[in-house]
Amino acid sequence: MHGFLGMALYRLLLPVLFVAAFPAWVVKMVRRGGFGSGLRERLSIYRCPLEQEPCGAVHLHAVSVGESLLALKLLREWRKSVPDQKFVLAVGTATGQAVAREHAPEGVRVVYAPLDFRWMVRRYLSRFEPSQIVLVEGEAWPNLMVLAQRRSIPVRLVNARMSPRSQRRYRKFAPWIRPVFSRFDRVGVQEPADAAIWQDLGLPADKIAVTGSLKFDPGTGARPEPRAEFTTMLEAFGPGRRIAMAASTHTGEESLIATAIREADPEALPVIVPRHAERRAEVKTALLAEGFEVVLRSVYSAPVDPARACLVIDSTGELRDWTAHADVVVIGKSFLGTGGQNPCEAVLAGKPVVFGPHMENFEPLASALVESGGCIRVVDTGALVTSIRACLRPDSTLREGIAAATGVLIRHEGATARTVDLLKA
C-alpha cells in the first residue's frame, strides 16, 4: 500500500516540483554554459539518427563531474577484460557532460539522462534498449526504476554509501521508499557497515556486495601528474615558490583559507580551486576585498604584483593535476560547509592534507587518515594557520605520515575491478 500511494504522490508532485525548480535551473545552466550542449536530450529528444545509436549497451548514469569521472574510471577497467563492450554515459549536469565528452574513450556515447517523467523515460529506454543501467552514486529515480524493471532491464547501484544522517532519514521513511529501492538488481557498497541499511530498505543480502570505494581505489585510474602548462603559469608568480592549495572550496572559504595561507607564510602562493567554477566572480570579489591580486585560470595573464597575487582555478576537471603541483592541500567544504570534499587525490599525490572539522561524508576514512599522521584536522582558523605553516616548512616531519596515509587507501585497492566483476555477473 505504501508503495502504491508513494508512486501516486510522486507522480502527482513531480510536475509541480519541476515547475518550481525550473527558474533556478535556467539560471544555473546560464552560469555553467549548459545551453547549446544538447539539453533537449533531458526531454528524450535526440539529434543522432536512431540507426547510429549503440543499442544494447551498458548505461552508466552519473549526475555531475565527480560521478562522471568515476564512471569513466569504471568503464576503462571494464574494457580491459571486454574490449568491445558498448557504453552509454548518461549525465545530469552541463559540467558533468563537458568532462565526460572531454575524457570519454572513443566509441562511448555521451548523453544527458532523461528527466524522470514516464513518457521521457519510455522514449529513452525504447531508443537505447540498455542491457543494464548502472547508477554511479546516483539517485534512484522512481519512474526509471519501475519502467526498467517492467522491461527486464537490471538497474544496479555502485559505490553506494550513506552518511549516518542519510541513514536515519531513509530508515524513518523506509516503508515509503522500500518499494523503489528494493527494485535494485545489485548494490555495491563501500564498507561492510553500509550493507545493513540496504537490507533495511528491502534488498536481500545476496544482492549486496562490499566492493570498496571507486574514489579511494589507488590501483586504478590516472593519478595526479604535474603538467608543463601549469608549471609555466606558476613560475610567473615567482620561481620556486611554495604552493598552498585550497581544493573544492565553498562560499566564504576562499578568503578564509587564502588569508590563513598568507599569515602562515607570506612567501607562499595561494592557489584556490572553487568547487563550482561559475562562482568565479563571487570568489574574485571576496579575494580582492582581502587585498589579493586575483588571476583567473580561465583568462590567465601574468600577475602585476606576484607578491600579493592569488591564482584561482576556475576550470572544470583539472583539480587532480593541479594537486600534483601543491606543497600542501587544504580541503574545502570542511570549514564553512558540512560534509567535506574528497581528500584522496591529494593523499595519492603524496601531499600533506589539512581539513576542517566537517568531513562527515568521508568518515571513517577521514579519521583514519588523521590517525595515520598524513592528514591534519583543525578546529579553527588559528590551528589552520599553524598547520599550513608546519606543512610548508622544508624540514616538515610529515613524510612518514604521508606514506602511512597512502597505506590507509590500500584496503580499497581493487575496488574498481571488484565493481566490474559485480556488474558483469
Q: What is the pLDDT of residues 326-356, one digit of tens each?
A: 999 999 999 998 889 989 889 988 899 999 9
The CA distances from residue 200 to 143, 184, 203, in Å, are 21, 13, 7
pLDDT of the residue at 119: 95
Name the nearest CA neighbour of 66 among 409, 340, 366, 342: 342
Contact between 138 and 160 (Cβ < 8 Å):
no
DSSP state, 79? H
Burial 66-97 (b: 16+ CB within 10 A, else e): bbbbbbbbbbbbbbeeeeeebbbbbbbbbbbb
Q: What is the pLDDT of residue 332?
A: 95
Distances (CA, A) of 327 to 150, 271, 319, 342: 53, 11, 14, 17
CB-based contacts of 4: which residues, under 8 Å, 6+ apart? Answer: none
The candidate with the shortest Cα–Cα distance to 385, out of 242, 288, 244, is 244
pLDDT (0 to 100) of residue 117: 93
Q: Residue 2 has what pLDDT?
A: 56
Give dist(CA 69, CA 75) in Å, integer: 10
Q: Within its chain, how far is the Cα of 155 from the centroid?
A: 21
The pLDDT, as a whole number, for residue 361 is 81
Give the chain's domains with CATH numbers: 32-221+414-424 (3.40.50.11720), 228-409 (3.40.50.2000)
pLDDT for position 351: 92
- Give the per-residue pLDDT at 125: 97
The candidate with the shortest Cα–Cα distance to 139, out of 113, 120, 104, is 113
Alpha helical stretches, state H, 290-364 = 319-323, 344-348
**Cβ-based neighbour number of residue 321 at 10 Å:** 18
The number of C-alpha atoms within 13 Å of 341 and in the hemisphere containing its C-beta is 26
Q: What single letter denotes the amino acid at residue 195?
A: A
Contact 192, 212 (CB under 8 A): no
Q: Which residue ranges of the chain lie beneath pLDDT 70?
A: 1-4, 6, 29, 32-37, 219-222
Q: What 3-state DSSP class applies to 415?
A: helix
* Whether the model pTM is above 0.95: no
Res 149: pLDDT: 95
331 neighbors 355 (Cβ within 8 angstroms): yes
pLDDT of res. 177: 78
- Alpha helices per DSSP H over 151-301: 164-172, 174-181, 195-200, 228-235, 253-264, 280-289
Residue 286 φ/ψ region, left for φ over 0, alpha for ψ in the -120 to 50 degree band, beta for the rest: alpha
Q: Alpha helices of 140-194 — where are they, by DSSP H?
A: 142-150, 164-172, 174-181
Which grid cell is 296?
Answer: 583567473
3-state SS record for 362-395: HCCHHHHHHHHCCEEECCCHHHHHHHHHHHHCCC
Please give the single-letter amino acid code of residue 207. Answer: K
Which pLDDT does position 63 carry in this prediction?
87
pLDDT of residue 241: 94
Peptide bond into 15 cis (omega under 30): no
pLDDT confidence of residue 261:
97
The 10 Å CB-count burial string (b at 16+, else e) for 118-133 is eebbbbbbebbebebb
